Structure 1
Amino acid sequence: MSASPASPVSARAAATVLLLRDRPQGMEVFMVVRHHEIDFASGALVFPGGRADPDDAAVAEALGGASHATPIHVAAVRETFEECGVLLARRRGEQGLVGAEVVQRLEAPRAALCRREAAFADILAAEDLVPATDLLVHFAHWITPRTQPKRFDTHFFLTVAPEDHLALHDGGEAVDSVWIRPADALDDAANGRRKMIFPTRINLMKLARETTAEASIGAARSAPIVTVEPEFVRAVPGGRELRIPLAAGYGGEIFLAHDMPASGGAQPR
């Protein structure tokens, strides 16, 4: 039985990760292009991410219940590994992240993980690894509007990409990838060179305020996280006006969604 407007479907927990790196031309963020055969937002440029799995809770519990080691933090680490081959993890008892040689050795298990034929907990245990959830800095929290038939409760995180890990799309849900300056991605979307959904565009606008990874992470650490659940205001020429909380820190309250829809069953990323 389908839910009525007065009884919205539950929003599924999800995580999105904005991998950052500094280059002479400015800070870049890693983004992937969704497969063209995916039902919603096909071909759109998005951040890596996905929904939380039940197994993420078990991994989080093994981390001791620290504030930065919740199931959604584990989901963020797992999805980053699945979708772009970057593994934010350490050898147990060590401080530095694992090197590229470990990531390369785990390429086959990663492929099995993407096919849902392996468990992230087992991959970590085989190498005695611990997710580096403390490196994830909370950046934003978006929930799909209640009027939609499929909803996600998505947390966005910032982190600096390990220099020696090769970030690359998985070839399944994502068919291309790019390191790009936030301002350039926004310009590409504005000029029709790339597809982009509303939450991606708005979060890129927020990210583009800073020019280095350190400044972006510092700003995120000091800013409160205010949940965003876009509300339809009215239809206007060229799109729709949506309202988000002014306190969420996006520099406004009413935004024109002239690009792809804000929801429609897709995870905000």
Structure 2
Amino acid sequence: MPDLPKELTLPEGFVPPDVPENPVTPKDAATVVLARDSADGLEVFLLRRVMGMAFAGGMTVFPGGGVDRRDADVSNWAGPEPAWWAERFGCDVPLARALVCAAVRETFEESGVLLAGPDGDSVVSDAEPFHGVRQDLVDRKISLAGFLADAGLVLRADLLSPWANWVTPEAEPRRYDTRFFLAALPDGQRADGVTSEAVDADWQRPSEAIADWKHGRRGLLPPTWMTLAELAECTGLSDAMTRERTVDKIIPKVVRDGNVVRVVLPGDPAYAGAAGHLDAGPDDELELE
């Protein structure tokens, strides 16, 4: 795992000056790194979230969101069974099933890419005929299970690969236990980024996205930066999709470093001595950037 750069500080307001004494219980979530090969190398699909959103406003992220337990009612499933995913992500089988379904749903909602097909050996080559239900999925008027059943489609769990598991630090008021997946853009499909949660969307090489962050053109949170850095080491899509990875739960901590706040990971010398959350006294002035 690459080292987080010390310049990667948390954005202003991300950690409140007055942190609750009891950390918030993280909500289960799924994030999908949608990738493709290009003439210039591996590219990933990135969204810039709307400013002012309750979580990660203005930041560049991958498609993703919270688990809707109704999704897990999917009856037509192809690929590794939920028990396999449960072992990889270190969770129970029902949650593993819901996480995979959330990954497929969030990818469709936020990029228009549908990881499903008429049967277990095919995937839709054009997802646009199904785009009319995207907002209904966002509004929870219909579940992924209901949508796939009505459309006669099979969920393709085999198009996903487990990548990582990040938990929001205890200091933050909105916390997520997020499992990261990697998925290849299916042939014929197009990622459009038509979502109310993003102001723009684009494909970019991981190294270029990190360069944009260095020059202040993108805001990145530690899990996104780390994923981009890891993917920048891959020679292409096949290399990334077939890499053997041990998915350990990564629980960062936040530390005050001068007058900024940054994240430290297990293995960092500052991690062992860091509190689970910041304890800002009444006379402490916490400045973030």
In the alignment, structure 1 residue 58 sits paired with structure 2 residue 73? yes
What is the TM-score when the length of structure 1 is the normalising length?
A: 0.82
User: In the alignment, which of 165, 185, 188 is matched to residue 209 of structure 2?
Assistant: 185
Gap regions ≥5 residues in structure 1:
247-251, 256-269
Structure-2 residue corresponding to 1:209: 233
| Closer/same/farther in 2, CA of residues 167 and 254 from structure 1, 3 Å limit | farther
Q: Distance in 2 between matches of 1:204 and 1:45?
A: 11
User: In the alignment, which of 64, 78, 84 is matched to residue 67 of structure 1?
Assistant: 84
Q: Distance in 1 between matches of 2:100 and 2:269?
A: 28
AA paired with 2:111?
A: C
| Closer/same/farther in 2, CA of residues 88 and 183 from structure 1, 3 Å limit | same
After TM superposition, the structure 1 stretch with the greater mean CA deviation from structure 2, 208-217 or 110-119, is 110-119
Q: How far did 1:206 drift?
A: 1.4
User: In the alignment, which of 104, 113, 122 is matched to residue 96 of structure 1?
Assistant: 122
What CA deviation, in whole Å up to 9, does each residue of 1:198-221 have, x standing for no partner?
Answer: 2211221111111301111222xx
AA paired with 1:10?
A: T
* Contact 2:49-2:59 at 8 Å conserved across structures: yes
Structure-2 residue corresponding to 1:225: 247
Q: Distance in 2 between matches of 1:117 and 1:253?
A: 48
Q: How far did 1:77 drift?
A: 0.5
Q: Distance in 1 between matches of 2:203 and 2:76?
A: 33
Q: How far did 1:123 drift?
A: 1.2
Identical aligned pairs, as a percentage? Answer: 37
Q: How far did 1:91 drift?
A: 1.5
Q: Distance in 1 between matches of 2:173 and 2:50?
A: 22
Q: Distance in 2 between matches of 1:35 and 1:241?
A: 22
Other structure's SS at 2:202 match: strand
Q: Distance in 1 between matches of 2:170 and 2:38?
A: 40
AA paired with 1:187?
A: A
Structure-1 residue corresponding to 2:263: 242
What CA deviation, in whole Å up to 9, does each residue of 1:118-170 have, x standing for no partner?
Answer: 22212101121111112211111000112322210000011111121110112
Structure-2 residue corresponding to 1:19: 34
Q: Distance in 2 between matches of 1:113 and 1:244?
A: 35
Q: How far did 1:175 drift?
A: 2.1
Gap regions ≥5 residues in structure 2:
1-18, 86-95, 272-289
In the alignment, structure 1 residue 161 sits paired with structure 2 residue 185? yes
Structure-1 residue corresponding to 2:176: 152
| Closer/same/farther in 2, CA of residues 162 and 39 from structure 1, 3 Å limit | same
Other structure's SS at 2:58 match: coil
What is the TM-score when the length of structure 2 is the normalising length?
A: 0.76
Other structure's SS at 1:70 match: helix
Q: Distance in 2 between matches of 1:113 and 1:164?
A: 23
AA paired with 1:171?
A: T
Whichever of the two has the greater Rg, that structure is 2
Structure-1 residue corresponding to 2:138: 114
* Contact 1:241-1:254 at 8 Å conserved across structures: no
Q: How many residues get paired?
A: 240
Q: Distance in 1 between matches of 2:256 and 2:50?
A: 31
| Closer/same/farther in 2, CA of residues 8 and 62 from structure 1, 3 Å limit | farther
